[in-house]
Chain A
C-alpha cells in the first residue's frame, strides 16, 4: 500500500535565521491544576508524586528557554494550583482578564468544559495535558481545547491491536467500581468489537480493597481473585482500575494461569519508566536529574503541552499568542515526543496523534500501532476515533 509522507518541512523555514542581539520577547504560559487529596495507593512502592504534571511542564519551560536563547523568546510558567474547582475558575477568569491566552491544564473533564465555555475564552487555547476522557474528544469537544494525552479509546485500541498481533483473541474483562473504571471498560468493549476480540466474561470487581495490607491478607486476596476469574476460558485478563485499587493484586492469583493487561500489568500508556527507545533516554534522565524521580504519564503530558506551545512559537517565529494559537491549529504544526514520528493534532477533534506504549513496570513490551494496522492517511489514526466516526461538531 502506498502511503504519502504526512509530515514535511516547508522551505519557508529557510527565512527563519536568528542572530543574537535584540531583547527577548516574553511568552507567558499559565498552568492550571487542582490540588485534590491523593487516594491511598494499594502499594507502598511508587507513592504517587505530589504534583504530577507540573514538573513535566516546568522541565519543558527550561528546554524551550534553551531554544529561546536563539530565537529571542523567553517562556515563563505561571502556576495556579488551586484547592477546588471554584478557585480554578476564578484563577482562569483573572488570567483571561490579564490578557493570558496560553493555558496548560491538569484538570478533570467537567471543569475543563466550564473553563472552555467561559466568556472571553474563545480566543485562548487550553491544552488539556492529562485527561483521557473520550467525551472531550467526541460530543463535548471544544474548538479552544487541544488534547495532549491519548484518549481511553486510543489506549484500548493500542492494547487490542497488540492482542490481535499475538492472536490472544479471547479476553476476560474485570471492572472496578469507580466511574472512570466504567469509562475505561467501555473503551475496551468498543475496541474489542472493532478488532474482533471476544470478551468471554465481563465482570465487576465486587470485593473491598485494603485486605492486602493486613497480616495474612494475601490469602484473602488470593481467594477473591480466584472467585472473580473462575469458570471461563480466556487468553488474557483485562482490568479496568484507573485508581490502582485492586489491579496490582490480580497477576499470579487468577484461577487459570493468565497474564494481566489494562490499567495494570501490560499497560497501554502515553509514557512509561521503561521507555528507552527513540532517544527518550535523554528526556528520562533529564527529568530524573531535576526531580529525583521518574517521569509519570501526567508529567509527560505537562511536558508535551508546553513543548507544543514552544514549538509553535519557534516555528511561527512569533511571541504573539494569537499567532502561536493559529500555528498550533494549522496543518504545519508538529512536535517531537521521543516516540518516533512527529506528533500532530487531529483536525476533527483536537487530539494529538501519537504512538501508544505497551509497558510493564520494568519492560517496554511494544508500541502501537502494530505493524500491519494501516490507515489511508496516517497509521496513527488506527488508534482512537477516526474522522468518519467523530461526533465532534464544535470545531
Chain B
C-alpha cells in the first residue's frame, strides 16, 4: 500500500513500516522515492531545472530529518514539501556536466534510512552532451649571459649554425578537445612546437625550421566505427605492421563480439618523427603505406579461432639515415599479403598464432630488374601451466615456442625491421615459485640460407638462463648466464678456415635493494667472454676479448626536499691479440686493455618547496687504453636554479625565472686537445592555460 503524505502530518494512516529484521539492522532500509525529476541520467539544456521527487512511503519518514543535497551542497532550507512531493528550484544556474542529487532522511524512530541518490547532466551546447576545448601554451625564452663557445670566424669554415644561440625561444601549444553525444565521440589531442633561435653576426636568426613539429590525433568514434586522423598507431600482424606509429589515418569497424567480424583500413606515411609536418597528405618525397585487414572469428567463442588477412602496399618504404632509422633496406615499391590465425584455448592458458606472408618489391622502378618476390612464415605456441604445489606454494610455468622463416627476397614495406634470409626457432620458459623466478631459453637461427655463394652461411645458437629472487625487504638478486655460439656451415674461400666462428659467454649478476622511500641501491657486474675461433695470423685482426663491467647506483632522499642519485660504471675491455701499429710503422699483435669510467650525478633540492628549486645533473667519463690509442676525459654538467614566481609578472597562468649554467670539458691526450666551455643563461618560462 502506498500513500502520499505531507511531511508535516500523516494523513491516511499508512501502514507503519515493518520492524526491521535483525539482519537488516546493519544495512538501513532504503528511502523509497518515485517520480524523480529530472529523470536519472537525463540530459538537459536548462540550467535551472526543477528538481523534485515523491516519497513512496511518507509514513516511514520523519520529516524533520529530511535533507536535500545538490553536488554535496545542502539546500534543505530552500526545499518545499507538499503532499509528499519534494521540490527544489535552483536559485542560480547549475554548472554544466553531471549533477548529483541526494535525499536523506530517518524513520520516525530516528533510525537513519539509506539515502537516495540520482544524477542527470546539463549540456553545454544543444548539439552535444559534452563539449570542451582546452589549451596550454608553454613558452621558454632563454638569453645567453655567457655563451659556451667563441663564435667561429667567417674564414674558419665552421658553421655558425652549430653554435649556441644568443637567444632561444621555444614554445609548445597543447590543445585537447572533446565532443560527445550519445554513442558519438570526437576527440582532439595535439601539440604544436615553435622554436626560434637568434644568433649574432652573419646569421642573426637560425635557418632551422621554426615550426619544429606539429602532431595531432583526431578520433571520431561511434560504436562500432572508429576513425582516427593524425599520429596513429597501427598493429596488424607480425610481418605486416606489428607496431606502426606514423602520420596517417585509419578506419576500424569492430563487430567482433556481435558477428565475429572486424575490418581495418589504414593509410600512413613516414617522415613525421622529425621536422615540420603540420598537414596530412601524400607527397612525392614521402614514404606511403596503404593497407587493409579483415579479421573473422567463425565460432561463437570468438577466442577459439580468429582468421586474419592483411594486404599492404608501400611506396618508397625507406627512411633516410639520420631521420629516425639509420641503415635499413629500402625499396621503391612493395606489396605484402599475409594470412594468419590466432587461437586461445582453456581460458587463455594455451595460445597458438600462425602467419604466412608473401611479398613483392622493386628496389628501383626505373631499371630493368623485375619485382623480387618471396615468402615468410611464422608459428608461435605459448601456454601457462600449474606444476603443482611445493611447500604449500604453487609452481607455475609459462612456456613459448616460435618458429620463423623469412625468404631471401622477402621485404615488408610496413616493417623495415624484418631480417630476410633467415630461419630458425626459439623456446623460452619462465617458472615461478614463491619468490623465485627461473627463466631459460634456447634459440637457433640460420642466416644466409640462400644459395648466394659469396657469403658464408651462419648458424647462431643461444642458451640463456636467469635466476631471480625477490624476497620482501631484502636485496633482490638476478643472475643471468648466456652462451651464444656462431658457426658457419658454408664458407667461401675468402673467409678462410673458421672465418666467422666464435663463442660469446655472458655472466651477469644484478642486485637491487629498496629501503623504503628514502633509499634504494642497485649494483651489477658482468663478464663477457668472446672466444674467437679463427686462426689469428699476421694479416688477421681480432682475437679473444674479455669485457668486465661493474655498475653501482643509489637514490638517496635524506630530506623530503632533497634527492641525490649518483651512479658509477666501470668497463674493462681486455683484447688478447689486438693489431697494434708501433711508432716505427710496424704492425704487431699485442694484448691491449682499455678502461672506461663513467659517473653521473643527479641532485634535486627544493630550497623553498614549490617556490625555489635547484636541479643539478653532472657526468664525467674517462677512457684510456694500454696501447695509447685512446686517452680522453669528458666532464659535463648543468645546474639550474628556478624561482617559481606564480603570477608575479601578470595575473594569468604561471611564470618561472631560472638561472642555468652549462659546463663541458673534453680533454683528449692523443689528439692533444683540451676544450673547456661554460655557458650561463637567464630563462623565463611561461605557462598560459586556455580553457573554453
Determine if chain A interacts with chain B.
no
